[in-house]
Amino acid sequence: MFPIIFFSLLFSSSEGARILGVVSGPTPSHQTFFHPIWKGLIQLGHELTVITASPMNNTAINLTEINTDFIYKLWQDEYHTTKLIDKYGKNLYKIVQESRKGFYKVVDKQLEHPEVQKLIQGSYGGFDLVIVEFISPVLSAFASKFNCPYLGVSVTDLNILYQRFFGHPIHPVLYPDFFIPFDGKMSFKERFVSCIMSSMLLMEDFFSDKHIEDQLIKKHFGNNMPSANEITANVSVILTNVNPAFYLRPVGPNFIPIGGLAKPEKATPLPQARFKNVLGNIQRFLDDATDGAIYFSLGTNIKSANIDRKLQDVFINTFRKIKSLKILWKFDGDIIGLPKNVMVVSWCPQQDVLRHPNIKLFITQGGVHSMEEALYFEVPILGLPFVADQEQNVRKFVNRGLGKKIDVKTITVEIFEENIMELIENPKYKQRVVEISSLSKDQPMTGFDKTIWWIEYVLRHKGAKNLRNHVVDMPFYQYYLLDVLGVILSIFLITFFLICLFIKCLCKMYFIKKRNLKNKSD
């Protein structure tokens, strides 16, 4: 990290800037993604005020954190992924719709927080830059309120609505929305479903979301605020957490990929972990796994305790059969009947676990951060996707030979065991992961260094208007050439009409002349 700090201090004219950070993702993985960014900016001497549900509790004098951790409970009580799956099953459109509705409720409650309201009213002073989790224009309204540039950071790829807004190709087969569970070569059925779902997502936004966003902006920031579209168009740079080794989509000049595990944590000895008031030594457990170990985690969006008991029994009975392997299972709840080769923990440092040389396989739900960490530490994956972008994330790995996928709706002990042993015993998966990991890491700058550089770039130039794609200022009829096509069609129709009229006149003259000749002959 020293080179980027030295470079920035040497050449930047923006040290000591006042920066506001706003993060509203109601899951820990979204919130903690920003921690390395905040720490890097603090070390560079910038003064930060951050709205976050996962405070770092850093004692730095140039950091102020407004804690909004109440959004976790709000999300889990009503809109948590497992609850939506139980309610809507495989109806992805409905799950997306409800998730968006839940997110607006989270943002609404977060902006109602007394300290956030004081910040909006100016009690914290002004800012030189706003860094916002790029999910909704409602959050970006802070930049308009403080009349300063803003930079967006997207923890996942941008959805189809933003892609369309910024003029990126939105072909439903070549570039399906990250919520649509397809990747690579698609069957006819998948292409058909992707087209229908893409159309539905676009129409849903056209008819409803902008109205909701405009209402929230006026409610919390005042009636004289710009519209949601105007605020979105004013973004200076968008940093997207997508891996350059996978991301082949053409994007605008102000879209910067920072994926590939932006900043791996420093290696530390694995700690003791508590589960149901029992301490377990993770380091010793993995060190003793001479035949190999498996790390099993469904992340933070899928609560292991909430999944069907029959599915839990499939996991347990499979682990009992592969007793030569040790399984470290991150499980947030009560569970009984575990075999001796399984250690259950409520929490563990995932990067340090994946870094352990005895880890041979990572069983994951397919969250973007888990996938990036598996690739960075060169561990094959067995994907058990449930919802959202998990299916597409897993397919990207499977299509590149980095692992395998199982449908949780049809999984059996036999299928689970067969896939586990194939991934551990067949060296081709490990070799492929090492190869793709090398491609992912072979970049001119790390994702973290790139992030800090672009933040300072926006500060130095008080925005990045030079990178603004003029497509955001074009009415939709101009972007889709409807006016040009209209003129061409009009010219064609007028020409066709004139030709028809000319032919009709010629025919009329011909018949008149013919009639006159006939009359003369009579």
Q: Has residue 380 got a pLDDT over 90?
A: yes
> pLDDT value at position 14?
47
Instruction: Establish whether domains 2-263+446-473 and 272-441 are of one fold.
Output: yes
Percent above pLDDT 70 for the chain: 90
- Could you tell me if 404 and 382 are in contact, meaning their C-beta atoms sit under 8 angstroms apart? yes
Residue 522 has pLDDT above 70, yes or no: no
- Between 463 and 386, whose confidence is greater? 463
Separation in Å, CA 216 to CA 46, 140, 209, 234, 300: 30, 12, 11, 18, 28
Q: What is the DSSP string of 453-495?
A: HHHHHHHHTTS-GGG--GGGGS-HHHHTTHHHHHHHHHHHHHH
Q: What is the pLDDT of residue 15?
A: 61
Bigger pLDDT: 510 vs 138: 138
| pLDDT confidence of residue 276 | 54
Q: Identify the burial level of 449 via C-beta atoms within 10 angstroms of its C-beta, where 0-12 means exposed, 13-18 middle and 19 or more buried.
A: buried
Could you give the CA distance from residue 440 to residue 396 in angstroms, rounded to a whole number? 14
For 223-253, how does the pLDDT look when each residue is reduced to its tens digit (9 = 90+)?
999 999 899 999 999 999 888 777 778 888 8
What pLDDT score does 77 carry?
76
Task: Evaluate whether 305 touches 334 at the Cβ level (below 8 Å).
Answer: yes
At 328 the pLDDT is 94
Share of the chain above pLDDT 90, in %: 46
262 pLDDT higher than 60:
no
Q: What are the φ and ψ backbone dihedral angles of 22, each rounded to 5 degrees? A: -130, 115
58 vs 35: CA distance, rounded Å: 10
Cα 137 from chain centroid (whole Å) = 16
Which strands sit side by side in the sheet containing 381-383, from one edge to the other? 342-345, 326-330, 293-297, 359-364, 381-383, 403-405
Q: In terms of DSSP bridges, do strands 237-240 and 359-364 run parallel, antiparallel, or are they unpaired?
A: unpaired
Q: What is the DSSP letter of 55?
A: -
> Given pLDDT bands bounded at 50, 70 and 90, which one contains residue 316?
very high
Facing residues of 21 across strands? 50, 131
Q: Token digits for 495?
A: 């020409």
Tokens matching residue 19? 């920066």
Whether residue 207 has pLDDT greater than 80: no
Segments making up each domain of the chain, as ranges:
2-263+446-473, 272-441, 481-521
Task: Give 52's strand partners.
Answer: 67
pLDDT digits (tens, 9 = 90+) for 16-36: 899 999 999 888 888 888 999
Tens digit of each residue's pLDDT (9 = 90 or more) over 480-519: 889 999 999 999 999 999 999 999 898 888 788 777 776 7
Answer CATH for 272-441 from 2.30.30.230, 1.25.40.10, 3.40.50.2000, 1.10.3720.10: 3.40.50.2000
116-120, 211-215, 427-431: segment of lowest average pLDDT: 211-215
Angle at 193 between CA 191 and CA 195, to 5 degrees: 70
Tokens of 366: 């397919």
Residue 279 is predicted with a pLDDT of 56
3-state secondary structure of 260: coil
DSSP three-state, residue 407: coil
State how far Cα 48 lies from the chain centre: 24
pLDDT tier for residue 41 given thresholds of 50, 70 and 90: very high
Which of 3.40.50.720, 3.40.50.2000, 3.40.50.300, 3.10.50.40 is the CATH number of 2-263+446-473?
3.40.50.2000
Segment 298-323 mean pLDDT:
85
